[in-house]
Amino acid sequence: MIEQSGATQAAARRVFHSKVDTIRPTYGFDDVSLAPGTDTVEPADVDLTQTFCGIDLAIPILASAMDAVGDARLAGELARLGGLAVLNLEGVQARYEDPDEILARIASAADDEVHDLLAEAYQRPIREDLITARLEAIHAAGAKAAVAATPGAARRFGPFCAEHGADLFLVQSQVSSARHLATDYDPLSLAEFTRYMPIPVAVGNTTNAEAAFALMEQGAAAVFVGVGPGAACTTREVLGIGVPQITAISDVAAARDAFQAETGRYVPLVADGGMRRGGELAKAVAAGADVLMIGSPLARAEEAPGRGMNWGMAAPSPTLPRGTRIKVGTTGSLERILLGPARVTDGSENLIGALRQSMAALGARTIREMQGVEMVYAPSVGTEGKSWQRAR
């Protein structure tokens, strides 16, 4: 028998802990499916209405605060259909008296020129008189005025927008945290900001339950969920950051429900990005979302200012791209995209009709009931039995 040395015996007792041993499984839209239960209801009996941050919505749809998606014209049309558009206060609408020219240049620029053009376009100063004009135009179009700015700009523009008629202010960044550390400047205090703002303040974006709970404690009127899932967003590729949307929505929904149980205040959750088809809208609601913010699907509308293009509005950096410009095409009116009738079979038109039909088939009459339906892990559900469709 060979006697082991002390070093060999110590090595035999040694335990190594690897990060990958404890990686948490996470789920995106393609990983899950919604399981039918015992009840069904008539689609006409499904009620999608709600009051969101003091604004009545007939459909749970927000248009992303992206320059290719939201302007006064689209805001008015989306309001007519029952949704709400969010205007980017740091976009071209607040920098150019006539933004059509720069929007046309961005849409038509060659791929190898567009990033330099985007950097140039957003160097022009933001003008308060243009913000006032856009707020007036949105109201004149029959819509509520929801606006968004990054935390660094919120302190300046928040009170101004509230004074000039904004109905909702969204503080939006790549990753929203309850506590931001900085050495070169004084970070925005969300608790103070929500306290002195006379209009509701929503906050985004996060994927973390603890962070979401803290944001609610600090007065957030709504919490936006999603880091990097958008079609025009490059956060996941450039920075390596993000959590698949089903897991992110579900985690933050758990924080929302815990916060309501402790305080009695219900803070709506907005799923922001990654949804292209009706089935994905349905899954987002089932995961816990109250409202759905979409960008690229609405950038395909005839009323959208992007002319068949969409581009990201990531935090500006002198050394990293702002996001990427993608071609989405112009496929029809905003009404067709949201309410149909659909002319295609891929689920990208009549998004609300698909959501309503899904809820009806699952026996859910309301958004809250839909949040209670069964969700199953089903990565094969999209391909099972579909070989003929894939062969087309």
**Residues catalogued as catalytic:** 233, 336
Q: Which of 376, 215, 378 is nearest to 287 (CA)?
A: 376
Q: How many helices (H) and strands (E) does the chain have?
A: 16, 14
Location of structure tokens 């009706």:
278
Residue 43 gets which letter from DSSP?
A: G
- Helices 245-263 + 278-287 axis angle, to 10: 40
Alpha helices for the chain (secondary structure H)? 6-13, 72-81, 100-108, 114-121, 128-140, 151-163, 190-196, 209-217, 235-239, 245-263, 278-287, 296-299, 334-339, 351-361, 367-370, 387-391
Give just the sign of the alpha carbon dihedral 240, 241, 245, 247: positive
Residues 6 or more apart from 4 whose CB is under 8 A from it?
12
| CB neighbours of residue 49 within 10 Å | 12
Burial of 20 (0-12, 13-18, 19+ CB in 10 A): exposed
User: How far apart are alpha carbons 252 and 284 in whole angstroms?
Assistant: 12
Which of 166, 163, 162, 161 lies closest to 138 in space, CA to CA? 166
CA distance linking residue 146 with residue 160, whole number of Å: 13
DSSP 308-370: TEEE--PPP-SSS-S--EEE----B-HHHHHH-----SSS-S-HHHHHHHHHHHTT--BHHHH
Residue with tokens 């939006």: 172
User: From residue 208, how far is each of 104, 148, 313 by CA, in Å?
Assistant: 38, 21, 22
99 contacts 92 by C-beta, under 8 angstroms: yes
CB 220 within 8 A of CB 267: yes
Structure tokens at 104: 């046309």
